[in-house]
Structure 1
Amino acid sequence: MSIQKFMVIGAGQMGSGIAQVAAQAGLQVILNDIKPEFVEKGLAGIKKNLARDVEKGRKTQEEADGILSRLTASTDVTDAKDVDFVVEAIIEHMAIKTELFKKLDDICPAHTILASNTSSLPITEIAAVTKRPEKVIGMHFMNPVPVMKLIEVIRGLATSDDTYSAVEDLSKKMGKVPVEVNDFPGFVSNRILLPMINEAIYCVYEGVATPEAVDEVMKLGMNHPMGPLTLADFIGLDTCLYIMEVLHEGLGDSKYRPCPLLRKYVKAGWLGKKSGRGFYVYE
Protein backbone atom coordinates (compact mmCIF):
# COMPACT_ATOMS: atom_id res chain seq x y z
CA MET A 1 0.00 0.00 0.00
CA SER A 2 1.30 3.44 -0.94
CA ILE A 3 0.94 6.00 1.86
CA GLN A 4 1.20 9.57 0.53
CA LYS A 5 -1.28 11.61 2.56
CA PHE A 6 -0.98 11.42 6.33
CA MET A 7 -3.11 13.04 9.04
CA VAL A 8 -2.25 13.59 12.69
CA ILE A 9 -5.09 14.36 15.10
CA GLY A 10 -3.85 16.15 18.21
CA ALA A 11 -1.25 18.91 17.80
CA GLY A 12 0.33 18.66 21.25
CA GLN A 13 3.94 17.67 21.90
CA MET A 14 3.47 14.10 20.62
CA GLY A 15 1.21 14.94 17.67
CA SER A 16 3.37 17.79 16.38
CA GLY A 17 6.45 15.56 16.70
CA ILE A 18 4.74 12.81 14.65
CA ALA A 19 3.71 15.40 12.04
CA GLN A 20 7.30 16.62 11.80
CA VAL A 21 8.83 13.16 11.21
CA ALA A 22 6.11 12.29 8.68
CA ALA A 23 6.76 15.53 6.72
CA GLN A 24 10.52 14.84 6.93
CA ALA A 25 9.81 11.45 5.32
CA GLY A 26 8.26 13.26 2.32
CA LEU A 27 4.59 12.71 3.18
CA GLN A 28 1.87 15.34 2.76
CA VAL A 29 0.77 15.94 6.35
CA ILE A 30 -2.41 17.44 7.82
CA LEU A 31 -2.01 18.49 11.46
CA ASN A 32 -5.42 18.68 13.11
CA ASP A 33 -6.72 19.82 16.49
CA ILE A 34 -10.00 21.22 17.84
CA LYS A 35 -8.81 24.84 18.07
CA PRO A 36 -6.68 26.91 15.64
CA GLU A 37 -4.42 28.10 18.49
CA PHE A 38 -3.56 24.45 19.36
CA VAL A 39 -2.53 23.76 15.76
CA GLU A 40 -0.56 27.03 15.58
CA LYS A 41 1.30 26.13 18.77
CA GLY A 42 2.13 22.69 17.32
CA LEU A 43 3.42 24.19 14.06
CA ALA A 44 5.45 26.78 15.99
CA GLY A 45 7.15 23.91 17.86
CA ILE A 46 8.01 22.20 14.56
CA LYS A 47 9.43 25.46 13.14
CA LYS A 48 11.56 25.89 16.27
CA ASN A 49 12.90 22.31 15.98
CA LEU A 50 13.75 22.78 12.31
CA ALA A 51 15.41 26.16 12.93
CA ARG A 52 17.61 24.49 15.55
CA ASP A 53 18.52 21.72 13.07
CA VAL A 54 19.52 24.36 10.47
CA GLU A 55 21.53 26.28 13.05
CA LYS A 56 23.44 23.14 14.04
CA GLY A 57 24.04 22.12 10.43
CA ARG A 58 21.85 18.99 10.58
CA LYS A 59 19.58 20.34 7.81
CA THR A 60 19.83 23.01 5.13
CA GLN A 61 17.36 25.91 5.05
CA GLU A 62 15.96 24.45 1.80
CA GLU A 63 15.28 21.09 3.51
CA ALA A 64 13.56 22.82 6.44
CA ASP A 65 11.43 24.92 4.07
CA GLY A 66 10.49 21.77 2.12
CA ILE A 67 9.34 20.02 5.30
CA LEU A 68 7.20 23.01 6.33
CA SER A 69 5.66 23.19 2.83
CA ARG A 70 4.31 19.65 3.30
CA LEU A 71 2.42 20.58 6.49
CA THR A 72 -1.20 21.79 6.41
CA ALA A 73 -3.18 23.08 9.41
CA SER A 74 -6.68 21.76 10.09
CA THR A 75 -9.45 22.10 12.68
CA ASP A 76 -11.99 19.98 10.79
CA VAL A 77 -11.88 16.19 11.23
CA THR A 78 -13.63 15.73 7.85
CA ASP A 79 -10.28 16.72 6.27
CA ALA A 80 -9.56 12.99 6.74
CA LYS A 81 -11.85 12.24 3.77
CA ASP A 82 -9.00 11.60 1.31
CA VAL A 83 -6.02 10.55 3.47
CA ASP A 84 -4.24 7.18 3.39
CA PHE A 85 -3.28 7.08 7.05
CA VAL A 86 -4.48 8.70 10.28
CA VAL A 87 -2.70 8.60 13.64
CA GLU A 88 -4.36 10.09 16.70
CA ALA A 89 -2.35 11.60 19.53
CA ILE A 90 -5.18 12.92 21.71
CA ILE A 91 -5.92 12.55 25.43
CA GLU A 92 -5.48 9.07 26.98
CA HIS A 93 -9.18 8.49 27.56
CA MET A 94 -10.93 5.46 26.08
CA ALA A 95 -14.38 7.06 25.56
CA ILE A 96 -12.87 10.07 23.75
CA LYS A 97 -10.64 7.87 21.57
CA THR A 98 -13.43 5.48 20.58
CA GLU A 99 -15.71 8.40 19.70
CA LEU A 100 -12.98 9.75 17.39
CA PHE A 101 -12.38 6.35 15.77
CA LYS A 102 -16.12 5.96 15.05
CA LYS A 103 -16.06 9.34 13.27
CA LEU A 104 -12.89 8.52 11.33
CA ASP A 105 -14.34 5.17 10.26
CA ASP A 106 -17.27 7.02 8.65
CA ILE A 107 -15.14 9.81 7.11
CA CYS A 108 -12.06 7.99 5.78
CA PRO A 109 -11.79 6.00 2.51
CA ALA A 110 -12.01 2.21 2.84
CA HIS A 111 -8.23 1.76 2.36
CA THR A 112 -7.22 4.18 5.16
CA ILE A 113 -5.30 2.76 8.12
CA LEU A 114 -6.30 4.16 11.52
CA ALA A 115 -3.53 4.22 14.14
CA SER A 116 -3.46 5.22 17.79
CA ASN A 117 -0.45 6.66 19.62
CA THR A 118 -1.90 5.40 22.91
CA SER A 119 0.71 4.51 25.51
CA SER A 120 -1.43 2.02 27.42
CA LEU A 121 -5.00 1.51 26.14
CA PRO A 122 -6.11 -1.70 24.35
CA ILE A 123 -6.02 -1.46 20.55
CA THR A 124 -8.54 -4.32 20.25
CA GLU A 125 -11.14 -2.29 22.15
CA ILE A 126 -10.49 0.83 20.03
CA ALA A 127 -10.71 -1.23 16.80
CA ALA A 128 -13.99 -2.85 17.87
CA VAL A 129 -15.97 0.41 17.41
CA THR A 130 -15.00 0.55 13.70
CA LYS A 131 -16.11 -1.47 10.68
CA ARG A 132 -12.43 -1.94 9.73
CA PRO A 133 -10.78 -3.56 12.80
CA GLU A 134 -8.24 -5.21 10.48
CA LYS A 135 -6.97 -1.70 9.57
CA VAL A 136 -6.61 -0.44 13.16
CA ILE A 137 -3.20 -0.59 14.87
CA GLY A 138 -1.19 0.97 17.69
CA MET A 139 1.84 3.17 16.94
CA HIS A 140 3.30 4.22 20.28
CA PHE A 141 5.96 6.85 19.53
CA MET A 142 8.44 7.90 22.22
CA ASN A 143 8.91 11.48 23.43
CA PRO A 144 10.54 13.62 22.00
CA VAL A 145 9.36 12.08 18.72
CA PRO A 146 11.94 13.69 16.36
CA VAL A 147 14.80 12.31 18.50
CA MET A 148 13.66 8.91 19.82
CA LYS A 149 14.06 5.95 17.47
CA LEU A 150 11.53 3.48 18.89
CA ILE A 151 7.93 2.89 17.83
CA GLU A 152 6.03 0.16 19.66
CA VAL A 153 3.73 -1.29 16.99
CA ILE A 154 0.74 -2.95 18.62
CA ARG A 155 -1.50 -5.38 16.79
CA GLY A 156 -5.10 -5.61 17.92
CA LEU A 157 -6.82 -8.98 17.82
CA ALA A 158 -8.05 -8.34 14.26
CA THR A 159 -5.12 -6.30 12.83
CA SER A 160 -4.16 -7.79 9.45
CA ASP A 161 -0.64 -8.72 8.31
CA ASP A 162 -0.98 -6.20 5.46
CA THR A 163 -1.72 -3.40 7.94
CA TYR A 164 1.23 -4.41 10.12
CA SER A 165 3.57 -4.53 7.08
CA ALA A 166 2.41 -1.08 5.91
CA VAL A 167 3.08 0.38 9.39
CA GLU A 168 6.46 -1.35 9.63
CA ASP A 169 7.49 0.13 6.26
CA LEU A 170 6.14 3.57 7.19
CA SER A 171 8.01 3.53 10.53
CA LYS A 172 11.29 2.79 8.75
CA LYS A 173 10.58 5.50 6.16
CA MET A 174 10.25 7.95 9.08
CA GLY A 175 13.67 6.86 10.36
CA LYS A 176 12.25 4.86 13.26
CA VAL A 177 12.77 1.31 14.53
CA PRO A 178 9.42 -0.55 14.77
CA VAL A 179 9.15 -3.22 17.46
CA GLU A 180 6.15 -5.55 17.38
CA VAL A 181 4.29 -5.83 20.69
CA ASN A 182 1.11 -7.70 21.61
CA ASP A 183 -1.99 -5.94 22.91
CA PHE A 184 -1.59 -6.02 26.70
CA PRO A 185 -2.12 -3.14 29.17
CA GLY A 186 0.88 -0.78 29.05
CA PHE A 187 2.46 -2.82 26.21
CA VAL A 188 6.20 -3.26 27.03
CA SER A 189 7.52 0.27 27.61
CA ASN A 190 5.03 1.44 30.22
CA ARG A 191 4.54 -1.99 31.82
CA ILE A 192 8.21 -1.84 32.82
CA LEU A 193 8.78 1.93 33.18
CA LEU A 194 5.73 2.99 35.20
CA PRO A 195 6.02 0.40 38.01
CA MET A 196 9.65 1.54 38.39
CA ILE A 197 8.51 5.17 38.67
CA ASN A 198 5.73 4.10 41.07
CA GLU A 199 8.27 2.24 43.25
CA ALA A 200 10.50 5.34 43.28
CA ILE A 201 7.49 7.33 44.54
CA TYR A 202 6.94 4.69 47.26
CA CYS A 203 10.55 5.25 48.37
CA VAL A 204 9.74 8.92 48.96
CA TYR A 205 6.32 8.13 50.49
CA GLU A 206 7.80 5.65 52.98
CA GLY A 207 10.69 7.96 53.89
CA VAL A 208 13.39 5.75 52.41
CA ALA A 209 15.02 8.74 50.69
CA THR A 210 14.39 12.22 49.26
CA PRO A 211 13.45 12.62 45.56
CA GLU A 212 16.96 13.98 44.89
CA ALA A 213 18.56 10.91 46.51
CA VAL A 214 16.33 8.43 44.66
CA ASP A 215 17.15 10.08 41.32
CA GLU A 216 20.87 10.22 42.11
CA VAL A 217 20.97 6.48 42.92
CA MET A 218 19.30 5.58 39.60
CA LYS A 219 21.48 7.95 37.57
CA LEU A 220 24.84 7.08 39.10
CA GLY A 221 24.13 3.49 40.12
CA MET A 222 22.05 2.29 37.17
CA ASN A 223 23.38 4.70 34.51
CA HIS A 224 19.93 6.11 33.74
CA PRO A 225 20.21 9.45 31.90
CA MET A 226 17.42 10.89 34.08
CA GLY A 227 16.15 9.91 37.52
CA PRO A 228 12.67 8.28 37.70
CA LEU A 229 11.11 11.17 39.65
CA THR A 230 12.46 13.81 37.26
CA LEU A 231 11.14 11.65 34.42
CA ALA A 232 7.74 11.40 36.16
CA ASP A 233 7.59 15.20 36.37
CA PHE A 234 8.36 15.44 32.65
CA ILE A 235 5.76 12.81 31.69
CA GLY A 236 3.14 14.45 33.94
CA LEU A 237 2.09 12.91 37.25
CA ASP A 238 -1.54 12.76 36.08
CA THR A 239 -0.43 10.69 33.06
CA CYS A 240 1.67 8.44 35.33
CA LEU A 241 -1.32 7.89 37.61
CA TYR A 242 -3.61 7.15 34.67
CA ILE A 243 -1.23 4.53 33.22
CA MET A 244 -0.78 2.87 36.63
CA GLU A 245 -4.58 2.68 36.93
CA VAL A 246 -4.80 1.07 33.46
CA LEU A 247 -2.15 -1.48 34.51
CA HIS A 248 -3.83 -2.15 37.87
CA GLU A 249 -7.27 -2.58 36.35
CA GLY A 250 -6.13 -4.47 33.24
CA LEU A 251 -3.74 -6.91 34.92
CA GLY A 252 -5.49 -7.15 38.29
CA ASP A 253 -2.27 -7.47 40.28
CA SER A 254 -1.65 -5.47 43.48
CA LYS A 255 1.95 -4.80 42.39
CA TYR A 256 0.50 -2.18 40.00
CA ARG A 257 -1.36 -0.28 42.75
CA PRO A 258 -0.61 3.46 42.36
CA CYS A 259 1.28 4.95 45.30
CA PRO A 260 -0.99 7.08 47.57
CA LEU A 261 1.55 9.94 47.33
CA LEU A 262 1.12 9.99 43.54
CA ARG A 263 -2.66 10.29 43.98
CA LYS A 264 -2.19 13.08 46.56
CA TYR A 265 0.10 15.12 44.26
CA VAL A 266 -2.35 14.81 41.35
CA LYS A 267 -5.28 15.88 43.57
CA ALA A 268 -3.19 18.87 44.69
CA GLY A 269 -2.62 19.86 41.06
CA TRP A 270 1.10 19.10 41.38
CA LEU A 271 1.39 17.50 37.96
CA GLY A 272 5.09 18.03 37.33
CA LYS A 273 6.86 20.36 34.92
CA LYS A 274 3.68 21.45 33.09
CA SER A 275 2.07 22.77 36.30
CA GLY A 276 5.31 24.21 37.76
CA ARG A 277 5.45 21.73 40.61
CA GLY A 278 5.73 17.96 41.05
CA PHE A 279 8.51 16.21 42.90
CA TYR A 280 10.55 19.28 42.01
CA VAL A 281 9.67 22.97 41.62
CA TYR A 282 9.96 24.51 38.14
CA GLU A 283 10.16 28.22 37.39
Structure 2
Amino acid sequence: MTTAPHDESPPRHALTVLGAGVMGVGITVLALGHGLPVHLVDVDRELLDRAGDRIDGELRLAELMGALPPGISPGELVTGTSLKAAAGATAVIEAVTENAATKAAVLSEVSALVRPGTPLITNTSSIPVDELAGALERPEELVGTHFMNPPYLIGTAEVVRGPRTGEPAMAAVTSLLAALRRRAVVVRDAPGFVTSRILHPMINDAARVVEEGTATAEAVDALMQGCLGHPTGPLRTADLIGIDNLVDSLRVLHERTGDDGCRPSELLVRLVREGRLGRKSGRGFYDYT
Protein backbone atom coordinates (compact mmCIF):
# COMPACT_ATOMS: atom_id res chain seq x y z
CA MET A 1 0.00 0.00 0.00
CA THR A 2 1.37 3.42 -0.96
CA THR A 3 0.16 6.85 0.02
CA ALA A 4 0.59 10.12 -1.86
CA PRO A 5 3.86 11.91 -1.02
CA HIS A 6 2.53 15.48 -1.22
CA ASP A 7 -0.11 17.56 0.52
CA GLU A 8 -0.86 21.04 -0.79
CA SER A 9 -1.79 22.41 2.65
CA PRO A 10 -0.37 20.07 5.30
CA PRO A 11 -1.55 20.53 8.88
CA ARG A 12 0.82 22.08 11.38
CA HIS A 13 2.93 19.72 13.45
CA ALA A 14 5.07 20.15 16.54
CA LEU A 15 7.51 17.26 16.84
CA THR A 16 9.49 15.86 19.69
CA VAL A 17 12.42 13.73 18.53
CA LEU A 18 14.00 11.43 21.11
CA GLY A 19 17.69 10.71 20.58
CA ALA A 20 20.40 13.02 19.25
CA GLY A 21 22.38 10.36 17.40
CA VAL A 22 22.77 10.03 13.64
CA MET A 23 19.12 9.23 12.91
CA GLY A 24 17.69 11.68 15.45
CA VAL A 25 19.74 14.46 13.91
CA GLY A 26 18.78 13.46 10.36
CA ILE A 27 15.06 13.34 11.17
CA THR A 28 15.34 16.70 12.94
CA VAL A 29 17.01 18.24 9.86
CA LEU A 30 14.24 16.87 7.64
CA ALA A 31 11.52 18.34 9.86
CA LEU A 32 13.20 21.72 10.41
CA GLY A 33 13.88 22.07 6.70
CA HIS A 34 10.16 21.67 6.02
CA GLY A 35 9.28 24.39 8.52
CA LEU A 36 8.22 22.17 11.41
CA PRO A 37 9.28 23.04 14.96
CA VAL A 38 11.25 20.31 16.73
CA HIS A 39 12.10 19.66 20.38
CA LEU A 40 15.14 17.36 20.33
CA VAL A 41 15.63 15.37 23.54
CA ASP A 42 18.61 13.37 24.75
CA VAL A 43 19.84 12.53 28.25
CA ASP A 44 23.39 13.48 27.20
CA ARG A 45 23.71 17.28 27.26
CA GLU A 46 27.12 17.20 25.57
CA LEU A 47 25.72 15.09 22.73
CA LEU A 48 22.86 17.58 22.36
CA ASP A 49 25.28 20.49 22.13
CA ARG A 50 27.26 18.73 19.39
CA ALA A 51 24.01 17.84 17.62
CA GLY A 52 23.17 21.54 17.25
CA ASP A 53 26.29 22.14 15.15
CA ARG A 54 25.65 19.02 13.07
CA ILE A 55 22.06 20.07 12.42
CA ASP A 56 23.19 23.50 11.20
CA GLY A 57 25.71 21.91 8.85
CA GLU A 58 23.30 19.31 7.49
CA LEU A 59 20.59 21.92 6.95
CA ARG A 60 23.04 23.89 4.79
CA LEU A 61 24.00 20.72 2.92
CA ALA A 62 20.36 19.74 2.34
CA GLU A 63 19.62 23.22 1.00
CA LEU A 64 22.63 23.16 -1.33
CA MET A 65 21.53 19.77 -2.67
CA GLY A 66 18.01 21.04 -3.37
CA ALA A 67 16.51 18.61 -0.86
CA LEU A 68 14.38 21.21 0.94
CA PRO A 69 11.27 23.03 -0.34
CA PRO A 70 12.05 26.58 -1.51
CA GLY A 71 10.59 29.59 0.27
CA ILE A 72 10.03 27.88 3.63
CA SER A 73 11.78 29.21 6.71
CA PRO A 74 13.36 26.50 8.90
CA GLY A 75 11.35 25.44 11.91
CA GLU A 76 12.45 26.38 15.41
CA LEU A 77 14.77 23.96 17.22
CA VAL A 78 14.70 23.54 21.00
CA THR A 79 16.86 21.00 22.80
CA GLY A 80 16.55 19.51 26.25
CA THR A 81 17.26 16.50 28.43
CA SER A 82 13.76 15.89 29.84
CA LEU A 83 11.15 13.63 28.28
CA LYS A 84 8.50 15.99 29.68
CA ALA A 85 9.06 18.05 26.53
CA ALA A 86 6.97 15.45 24.70
CA ALA A 87 3.81 16.39 26.61
CA GLY A 88 2.84 19.13 24.14
CA ALA A 89 3.90 17.39 20.93
CA THR A 90 1.54 16.51 18.11
CA ALA A 91 3.78 13.52 17.35
CA VAL A 92 6.79 11.91 19.00
CA ILE A 93 9.53 10.19 17.00
CA GLU A 94 11.73 7.86 19.05
CA ALA A 95 15.21 7.39 17.54
CA VAL A 96 17.26 6.02 20.42
CA THR A 97 19.72 3.14 20.16
CA GLU A 98 18.59 -0.08 18.43
CA ASN A 99 17.99 -2.00 21.65
CA ALA A 100 14.52 -3.36 22.41
CA ALA A 101 14.72 -2.87 26.19
CA THR A 102 15.96 0.73 25.84
CA LYS A 103 13.32 1.63 23.26
CA ALA A 104 10.53 0.01 25.29
CA ALA A 105 11.55 1.89 28.44
CA VAL A 106 11.64 5.26 26.65
CA LEU A 107 8.34 4.66 24.86
CA SER A 108 6.67 3.53 28.09
CA GLU A 109 7.68 6.74 29.85
CA VAL A 110 6.64 8.94 26.93
CA SER A 111 3.30 7.15 26.57
CA ALA A 112 2.41 8.23 30.10
CA LEU A 113 3.27 11.88 29.34
CA VAL A 114 1.60 12.62 25.99
CA ARG A 115 -2.03 13.46 25.39
CA PRO A 116 -4.18 10.46 24.40
CA GLY A 117 -4.30 10.25 20.63
CA THR A 118 -0.72 11.49 20.12
CA PRO A 119 1.01 9.14 17.68
CA LEU A 120 4.24 7.59 18.93
CA ILE A 121 6.61 6.69 16.13
CA THR A 122 9.48 4.30 16.69
CA ASN A 123 12.29 4.65 14.16
CA THR A 124 13.58 1.10 14.30
CA SER A 125 15.41 -0.83 11.61
CA SER A 126 14.66 -4.32 12.90
CA ILE A 127 12.65 -4.61 16.16
CA PRO A 128 9.02 -5.68 15.62
CA VAL A 129 6.63 -2.84 16.46
CA ASP A 130 4.29 -5.08 18.46
CA GLU A 131 7.19 -6.15 20.66
CA LEU A 132 7.51 -2.50 21.73
CA ALA A 133 3.77 -1.76 21.80
CA GLY A 134 3.33 -3.92 24.90
CA ALA A 135 5.22 -1.31 26.93
CA LEU A 136 2.74 1.47 26.10
CA GLU A 137 -0.33 2.56 28.03
CA ARG A 138 -2.13 2.78 24.68
CA PRO A 139 -0.46 0.34 22.25
CA GLU A 140 -2.76 1.42 19.42
CA GLU A 141 -0.83 4.71 19.23
CA LEU A 142 2.50 3.13 18.19
CA VAL A 143 3.62 3.04 14.54
CA GLY A 144 6.99 2.07 13.10
CA THR A 145 8.55 4.47 10.61
CA HIS A 146 11.93 3.43 9.25
CA PHE A 147 13.62 6.53 7.85
CA MET A 148 16.73 5.81 5.77
CA ASN A 149 19.95 7.71 6.36
CA PRO A 150 20.14 10.59 5.62
CA PRO A 151 16.36 11.15 5.90
CA TYR A 152 16.48 14.56 4.20
CA LEU A 153 17.90 13.05 1.00
CA ILE A 154 15.77 9.89 0.74
CA GLY A 155 12.20 10.55 -0.32
CA THR A 156 10.57 7.28 0.75
CA ALA A 157 9.92 6.00 4.27
CA GLU A 158 8.99 2.46 5.28
CA VAL A 159 5.93 2.60 7.57
CA VAL A 160 5.27 -0.44 9.75
CA ARG A 161 1.76 -1.12 10.98
CA GLY A 162 1.77 -3.34 14.06
CA PRO A 163 -1.11 -5.72 14.86
CA ARG A 164 -2.39 -3.28 17.49
CA THR A 165 -1.76 -0.02 15.58
CA GLY A 166 -4.99 1.95 15.25
CA GLU A 167 -6.41 3.85 12.28
CA PRO A 168 -6.03 7.29 13.95
CA ALA A 169 -2.30 6.69 14.48
CA MET A 170 -1.86 5.57 10.87
CA ALA A 171 -3.73 8.63 9.61
CA ALA A 172 -1.62 10.95 11.78
CA VAL A 173 1.65 9.44 10.58
CA THR A 174 0.52 9.60 6.96
CA SER A 175 -0.31 13.29 7.45
CA LEU A 176 3.07 13.96 9.04
CA LEU A 177 4.98 12.25 6.23
CA ALA A 178 2.96 14.21 3.67
CA ALA A 179 4.00 17.43 5.44
CA LEU A 180 7.59 16.21 5.11
CA ARG A 181 7.04 15.42 1.40
CA ARG A 182 7.86 11.77 1.99
CA ARG A 183 6.32 8.84 0.19
CA ALA A 184 5.01 6.36 2.77
CA VAL A 185 5.10 2.67 1.87
CA VAL A 186 3.15 0.67 4.45
CA VAL A 187 4.18 -2.89 5.34
CA ARG A 188 3.18 -5.44 7.96
CA ASP A 189 5.09 -6.01 11.17
CA ALA A 190 7.96 -8.53 11.18
CA PRO A 191 11.62 -8.59 12.30
CA GLY A 192 13.48 -6.25 9.94
CA PHE A 193 10.27 -5.51 7.97
CA VAL A 194 11.32 -5.27 4.29
CA THR A 195 14.36 -3.02 3.90
CA SER A 196 16.53 -4.34 6.75
CA ARG A 197 15.46 -7.96 6.22
CA ILE A 198 16.87 -7.76 2.69
CA LEU A 199 19.67 -5.19 2.97
CA HIS A 200 21.39 -6.09 6.24
CA PRO A 201 22.05 -9.80 5.48
CA MET A 202 23.38 -8.69 2.06
CA ILE A 203 25.83 -6.30 3.75
CA ASN A 204 26.78 -9.11 6.14
CA ASP A 205 27.56 -11.37 3.19
CA ALA A 206 29.61 -8.60 1.56
CA ALA A 207 31.65 -8.28 4.76
CA ARG A 208 32.21 -12.05 4.80
CA VAL A 209 33.55 -11.90 1.22
CA VAL A 210 36.12 -9.32 2.37
CA GLU A 211 36.86 -11.29 5.55
CA GLU A 212 37.55 -14.44 3.52
CA GLY A 213 39.98 -12.58 1.26
CA THR A 214 37.99 -13.02 -1.94
CA ALA A 215 37.97 -9.29 -2.68
CA THR A 216 38.66 -5.90 -1.15
CA ALA A 217 35.86 -3.65 0.05
CA GLU A 218 36.50 -1.41 -2.95
CA ALA A 219 36.18 -4.36 -5.35
CA VAL A 220 32.96 -5.60 -3.74
CA ASP A 221 31.37 -2.18 -3.99
CA ALA A 222 32.60 -1.59 -7.55
CA LEU A 223 31.06 -4.89 -8.70
CA MET A 224 27.78 -4.31 -6.88
CA GLN A 225 27.55 -0.82 -8.39
CA GLY A 226 28.73 -1.59 -11.90
CA CYS A 227 27.16 -5.03 -12.40
CA LEU A 228 24.08 -5.03 -10.17
CA GLY A 229 23.13 -1.36 -10.01
CA HIS A 230 23.51 -0.82 -6.27
CA PRO A 231 23.81 2.99 -5.95
CA THR A 232 26.68 3.12 -3.45
CA GLY A 233 27.79 -0.45 -2.83
CA PRO A 234 26.91 -2.44 0.31
CA LEU A 235 30.05 -1.62 2.30
CA ARG A 236 29.86 2.13 1.72
CA THR A 237 26.24 1.76 2.80
CA ALA A 238 27.41 0.01 5.97
CA ASP A 239 29.66 2.97 6.73
CA LEU A 240 26.72 5.31 6.24
CA ILE A 241 24.36 3.27 8.45
CA GLY A 242 27.00 3.00 11.18
CA ILE A 243 28.61 -0.40 11.63
CA ASP A 244 27.61 -0.54 15.29
CA ASN A 245 23.98 0.08 14.30
CA LEU A 246 24.26 -2.57 11.61
CA VAL A 247 25.62 -5.16 14.08
CA ASP A 248 22.82 -4.35 16.55
CA SER A 249 20.22 -4.81 13.80
CA LEU A 250 21.75 -8.08 12.62
CA ARG A 251 21.70 -9.43 16.16
CA VAL A 252 18.01 -8.57 16.48
CA LEU A 253 17.30 -10.31 13.18
CA HIS A 254 19.32 -13.37 14.14
CA GLU A 255 17.62 -13.69 17.53
CA ARG A 256 14.08 -13.23 16.16
CA THR A 257 14.33 -15.20 12.90
CA GLY A 258 16.94 -17.86 13.62
CA ASP A 259 18.46 -17.13 10.21
CA ASP A 260 22.17 -17.86 10.58
CA GLY A 261 22.88 -15.53 7.65
CA CYS A 262 21.99 -12.70 10.04
CA ARG A 263 24.65 -13.61 12.59
CA PRO A 264 27.07 -10.64 12.43
CA SER A 265 30.29 -11.53 10.64
CA GLU A 266 33.50 -11.48 12.63
CA LEU A 267 34.80 -8.60 10.49
CA LEU A 268 31.82 -6.39 11.39
CA VAL A 269 32.18 -7.25 15.08
CA ARG A 270 35.92 -6.52 14.95
CA LEU A 271 35.38 -3.13 13.31
CA VAL A 272 32.98 -2.16 16.10
CA ARG A 273 35.46 -3.36 18.72
CA GLU A 274 38.15 -1.17 17.12
CA GLY A 275 35.87 1.88 17.04
CA ARG A 276 35.72 1.88 13.23
CA LEU A 277 32.01 2.66 13.01
CA GLY A 278 31.88 4.26 9.57
CA ARG A 279 31.42 7.87 8.57
CA LYS A 280 30.45 9.04 12.05
CA SER A 281 33.77 7.91 13.54
CA GLY A 282 35.91 8.83 10.53
CA ARG A 283 36.79 5.23 9.60
CA GLY A 284 34.94 2.06 8.78
CA PHE A 285 35.49 0.05 5.62
CA TYR A 286 36.75 3.36 4.20
CA ASP A 287 38.73 6.26 5.66
CA TYR A 288 36.86 9.60 5.94
CA THR A 289 39.39 11.57 7.94
| Same fold (TM > 0.5) | yes
Match of 2:223 in 1: 217
CA–CA separation in structure 2 for the residues paired with 1:206 and 1:253: 20
Match of 2:283 in 1: 277
Instruction: Give the percent of matched residue pairs that are identical in Structure 1 and Structure 2.
Output: 39
Deviations 1:120-166 (A, max 9, x none): 11110111011110001111111111111111111112001221122
CA–CA separation in structure 2 for the residues paired with 1:59 and 1:78: 30
Q: CA deviation at 1:98?
A: 1.0
Match of 2:118 in 1: 112
Alignment of 1:1-283 (within 5 A): 4-52=13-61, 63=72, 66-68=73-75, 70-283=76-289
Which shows bigger deviation, 229-238 or 265-274?
265-274
Structure richer in helix, relative to its length? 1
Deviations 1:147-197 (A, max 9, x none): 111111111120012211221121111110101111111111111111111
Q: CA deviation at 1:105?
A: 1.4
Preserved contact between residue 113 and residue 136 of structure 1 (Cα < 8 Å): yes
Preserved contact between residue 86 and residue 113 of structure 2 (Cα < 8 Å): yes
CA–CA separation in structure 1 for the residues paired with 2:187 and 2:109: 26
CA–CA separation in structure 1 for the residues paired with 2:211 and 2:104: 36
Normalising by structure 1, we get a TM-score of: 0.89
Preserved contact between residue 3 and residue 85 of structure 1 (Cα < 8 Å): no
Q: CA deviation at 1:228?
A: 1.3
**3-state SS in 1 of match to 2:276:** coil
Compute the RMSD of aligned alpha carbons: 2.4
Gaps of 5+ in 1: none
Preserved contact between residue 23 and residue 67 of structure 1 (Cα < 8 Å): yes
Compare CA radii of gyration and give the structure with the larger one.
1
Normalising by structure 2, we get a TM-score of: 0.88
Q: Which runs of 4+ in 1 moved over 4 A?
A: 52-62
CA–CA separation in structure 2 for the residues paired with 1:59 and 1:166: 22
Q: CA deviation at 1:61?
A: 9.8
How many residue pairs get aligned? The number is 280
Classify 1:62/1:153 alpha carbon distance in 2 versus 1 (closer, same or farther; 3 Å).
closer
